[in-house]
Protein backbone atom coordinates (compact mmCIF):
# COMPACT_ATOMS: atom_id res chain seq x y z
CA UNK A 1 0.00 0.00 0.00
CA UNK A 2 1.01 3.61 -0.62
CA UNK A 3 -0.24 7.11 0.26
CA UNK A 4 0.24 8.99 -3.00
CA UNK A 5 2.76 11.35 -1.36
CA UNK A 6 5.74 11.33 -3.73
CA UNK A 7 9.11 10.94 -2.01
CA UNK A 8 11.41 11.58 -4.97
CA UNK A 9 11.52 11.92 -8.74
CA UNK A 10 13.64 9.25 -10.40
CA UNK A 11 14.63 8.49 -13.97
CA UNK A 12 14.44 5.36 -16.10
CA UNK A 13 18.14 4.93 -16.81
CA UNK A 14 17.90 1.75 -18.87
CA UNK A 15 15.35 -0.64 -20.35
CA UNK A 16 16.33 -4.24 -21.07
CA UNK A 17 13.87 -6.47 -22.94
CA UNK A 18 12.67 -9.70 -21.34
CA UNK A 19 10.71 -12.53 -22.92
CA UNK A 20 7.43 -11.30 -21.37
CA UNK A 21 8.19 -7.69 -20.49
CA UNK A 22 11.12 -5.46 -19.63
CA UNK A 23 13.65 -4.88 -16.85
CA UNK A 24 13.94 -1.26 -15.76
CA UNK A 25 17.02 0.23 -14.15
CA UNK A 26 15.79 3.27 -12.24
CA UNK A 27 18.09 6.07 -11.14
CA UNK A 28 16.73 6.88 -7.70
CA UNK A 29 19.61 8.86 -6.23
CA UNK A 30 17.16 11.33 -4.65
CA UNK A 31 15.33 8.51 -2.81
CA UNK A 32 16.60 7.17 0.52
CA UNK A 33 17.33 3.52 -0.31
CA UNK A 34 18.94 2.65 3.03
CA UNK A 35 15.84 0.81 4.29
CA UNK A 36 14.93 -0.84 0.98
CA UNK A 37 15.48 -4.60 0.69
CA UNK A 38 15.10 -6.97 -2.23
CA UNK A 39 11.43 -7.85 -2.61
CA UNK A 40 10.23 -4.48 -1.32
CA UNK A 41 7.67 -2.50 -3.31
CA UNK A 42 8.28 0.95 -4.78
CA UNK A 43 5.63 2.69 -6.86
CA UNK A 44 6.80 4.32 -10.10
CA UNK A 45 4.23 6.70 -11.63
CA UNK A 46 1.61 4.98 -9.49
CA UNK A 47 2.55 1.43 -10.53
CA UNK A 48 3.56 -0.93 -7.70
CA UNK A 49 6.79 -2.70 -8.70
CA UNK A 50 9.05 -5.14 -6.83
CA UNK A 51 12.72 -4.38 -6.28
CA UNK A 52 14.78 -7.27 -7.69
CA UNK A 53 18.24 -5.67 -7.38
CA UNK A 54 19.86 -2.59 -5.90
CA UNK A 55 22.39 -0.58 -7.90
CA UNK A 56 24.85 2.19 -7.10
CA UNK A 57 22.30 4.88 -7.96
CA UNK A 58 18.99 3.10 -7.54
CA UNK A 59 17.36 -0.23 -8.23
CA UNK A 60 15.96 -2.62 -10.85
CA UNK A 61 12.43 -3.94 -11.39
CA UNK A 62 10.80 -6.31 -13.84
CA UNK A 63 7.64 -5.09 -15.57
CA UNK A 64 5.31 -7.56 -17.27
CA UNK A 65 3.90 -7.03 -20.73
CA UNK A 66 0.42 -6.87 -19.19
CA UNK A 67 1.47 -3.98 -16.93
CA UNK A 68 3.07 -2.14 -19.85
CA UNK A 69 -0.16 -2.55 -21.85
CA UNK A 70 -2.29 -1.09 -19.03
CA UNK A 71 -0.13 1.86 -17.98
CA UNK A 72 1.94 4.73 -19.35
CA UNK A 73 5.31 6.24 -18.48
CA UNK A 74 7.36 3.06 -18.01
CA UNK A 75 8.57 2.37 -21.54
CA UNK A 76 10.85 5.30 -22.35
CA UNK A 77 14.50 5.43 -21.33
CA UNK A 78 15.34 8.79 -19.78
CA UNK A 79 11.77 9.48 -18.67
CA UNK A 80 11.23 10.87 -15.18
CA UNK A 81 9.01 8.92 -12.79
CA UNK A 82 7.35 9.71 -9.46
CA UNK A 83 8.66 7.38 -6.75
CA UNK A 84 7.14 6.30 -3.44
CA UNK A 85 8.23 3.49 -1.13
CA UNK A 86 5.53 1.25 0.32
CA UNK A 87 3.66 2.50 3.38
CA UNK A 88 4.72 1.25 6.82
CA UNK A 89 2.16 0.89 9.61
CA UNK A 90 3.86 3.63 11.65
CA UNK A 91 3.91 6.15 8.77
CA UNK A 92 1.68 9.19 8.47
CA UNK A 93 -1.15 8.79 5.97
CA UNK A 94 -0.65 12.17 4.31
CA UNK A 95 -2.60 11.37 1.12
CA UNK A 96 -5.05 8.48 0.89
CA UNK A 97 -4.81 4.70 0.68
CA UNK A 98 -3.35 3.78 -2.71
CA UNK A 99 -2.84 0.20 -3.92
CA UNK A 100 -0.43 0.89 -6.78
CA UNK A 101 -2.74 -0.93 -9.20
CA UNK A 102 -3.64 1.41 -12.05
CA UNK A 103 -7.34 1.38 -12.96
CA UNK A 104 -7.01 3.09 -16.32
CA UNK A 105 -5.16 5.61 -18.45
CA UNK A 106 -6.60 9.11 -18.70
CA UNK A 107 -5.91 11.92 -21.15
CA UNK A 108 -5.09 15.51 -20.20
CA UNK A 109 -7.72 17.79 -21.75
CA UNK A 110 -6.21 21.01 -20.41
CA UNK A 111 -3.34 22.18 -18.20
CA UNK A 112 -3.70 25.91 -17.67
CA UNK A 113 -2.21 28.44 -15.24
CA UNK A 114 -4.60 29.67 -12.57
CA UNK A 115 -2.88 32.36 -10.54
CA UNK A 116 0.12 30.72 -8.89
CA UNK A 117 -1.45 27.29 -9.42
CA UNK A 118 -2.41 25.19 -12.44
CA UNK A 119 -5.82 23.80 -13.33
CA UNK A 120 -5.57 20.23 -14.61
CA UNK A 121 -8.52 18.78 -16.51
CA UNK A 122 -8.44 15.05 -17.27
CA UNK A 123 -10.73 12.83 -19.32
CA UNK A 124 -11.08 9.42 -17.66
CA UNK A 125 -12.04 6.10 -19.27
CA UNK A 126 -15.82 5.71 -19.03
CA UNK A 127 -15.54 2.45 -17.07
CA UNK A 128 -13.85 4.20 -14.13
CA UNK A 129 -15.39 7.67 -14.42
CA UNK A 130 -18.27 6.61 -12.17
CA UNK A 131 -15.84 6.18 -9.27
CA UNK A 132 -14.60 9.79 -9.41
CA UNK A 133 -16.43 12.10 -7.00
CA UNK A 134 -16.39 15.80 -6.17
CA UNK A 135 -13.93 16.42 -3.31
CA UNK A 136 -12.93 12.76 -3.44
CA UNK A 137 -9.40 11.43 -3.85
CA UNK A 138 -7.74 10.20 -7.01
CA UNK A 139 -4.19 9.21 -7.90
CA UNK A 140 -2.63 10.69 -11.04
CA UNK A 141 0.77 9.21 -11.96
CA UNK A 142 1.10 8.13 -8.34
CA UNK A 143 0.21 11.51 -6.83
CA UNK A 144 -2.68 11.70 -4.36
CA UNK A 145 -4.93 14.59 -5.41
CA UNK A 146 -8.35 16.05 -4.57
CA UNK A 147 -11.02 16.28 -7.26
CA UNK A 148 -12.36 19.84 -7.62
CA UNK A 149 -15.15 19.18 -10.11
CA UNK A 150 -16.66 16.34 -12.12
CA UNK A 151 -18.69 16.47 -15.34
CA UNK A 152 -19.49 13.14 -16.99
CA UNK A 153 -16.10 11.56 -17.80
CA UNK A 154 -13.97 14.66 -17.08
CA UNK A 155 -12.68 16.00 -13.79
CA UNK A 156 -10.49 18.89 -12.67
CA UNK A 157 -7.72 19.26 -10.11
CA UNK A 158 -6.04 22.38 -8.77
CA UNK A 159 -2.27 21.80 -8.57
CA UNK A 160 -0.38 23.93 -6.06
CA UNK A 161 3.25 25.03 -6.70
CA UNK A 162 4.65 22.53 -4.17
CA UNK A 163 3.05 19.56 -5.94
CA UNK A 164 4.39 20.77 -9.29
CA UNK A 165 7.87 21.25 -7.87
CA UNK A 166 8.06 17.84 -6.19
CA UNK A 167 6.56 15.67 -8.95
CA UNK A 168 6.62 15.10 -12.70
CA UNK A 169 3.15 16.62 -13.11
CA UNK A 170 4.79 19.92 -14.10
CA UNK A 171 5.63 18.33 -17.47
CA UNK A 172 2.00 17.63 -18.39
CA UNK A 173 0.32 19.27 -21.35
CA UNK A 174 -2.89 18.83 -23.30
CA UNK A 175 -2.83 15.36 -24.85
CA UNK A 176 -0.55 13.80 -22.23
CA UNK A 177 -1.61 10.40 -20.94
CA UNK A 178 -1.63 9.66 -17.21
CA UNK A 179 -2.06 6.65 -14.95
CA UNK A 180 -5.25 6.85 -12.85
CA UNK A 181 -6.18 4.94 -9.71
CA UNK A 182 -9.56 5.66 -8.17
CA UNK A 183 -10.28 5.64 -4.45
CA UNK A 184 -10.41 2.08 -3.10
CA UNK A 185 -13.50 2.90 -1.04
CA UNK A 186 -15.47 3.83 -4.15
CA UNK A 187 -14.79 0.43 -5.69
CA UNK A 188 -15.86 -1.44 -2.54
CA UNK A 189 -19.06 0.58 -2.20
CA UNK A 190 -19.89 -0.14 -5.84
CA UNK A 191 -19.27 -3.87 -5.32
CA UNK A 192 -21.41 -3.95 -2.19
CA UNK A 193 -24.28 -2.29 -4.04
CA UNK A 194 -24.01 -4.57 -7.06
CA UNK A 195 -23.72 -7.68 -4.87
CA UNK A 196 -26.84 -6.73 -2.96
CA UNK A 197 -28.69 -6.47 -6.29
CA UNK A 198 -27.47 -9.91 -7.35
CA UNK A 199 -28.71 -11.70 -4.24
CA UNK A 200 -32.15 -13.34 -4.41
CA UNK A 201 -34.83 -11.85 -2.16
Domain ranges for the chain: 8-85, 104-192
Q: Tell me the CATH number for domain 104-192.
A: 2.40.30.20
* Residue-level pLDDT at 189: 84
* Cα(58)–Cα(82) distance, integer angstroms: 14
Task: Give the up-direction half-sphere exposure of residue 128: CA atoms within 13 A in the CB hemisphere.
Answer: 18
Please check whether residue 14 is in contact with residue 24, taking contact to mean a CB–CB distance below 8 angstroms: yes
Pick the CATH number of 8-85 from 2.40.30.20, 1.10.1740.10, 3.30.360.10, 2.10.109.10: 2.40.30.20
* Residue-level pLDDT at 191: 81
The torsion angles phi and psi of 188, rounded to 5 degrees, stand at -70, -40
* Residue-level pLDDT at 199: 58
Domain 8-85 identical in fold to domain 104-192: yes
| Helix-strand-coil split of the chain, %, nearest 5 | 15, 45, 40
Beta strand pairing call for 177-182 and 154-159: unpaired
pLDDT tens, position by position, 15-37? 999 999 999 999 999 999 999 99
Q: What is the DSSP letter of 108?
A: E
Please check whether residue 15 is in contact with residue 41, taking contact to mean a CB–CB distance below 8 angstroms: no
Residue ranges for the chain with pLDDT beneath 50 = none
* Residue-level pLDDT at 201: 57
Amino acid sequence: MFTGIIQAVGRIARIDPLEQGVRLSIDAAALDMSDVALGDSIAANGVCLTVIAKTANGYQVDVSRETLNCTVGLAEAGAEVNLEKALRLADRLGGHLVSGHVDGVGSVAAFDPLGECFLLRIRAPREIAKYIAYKGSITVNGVSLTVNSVAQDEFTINLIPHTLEMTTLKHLQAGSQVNLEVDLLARYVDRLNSFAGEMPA
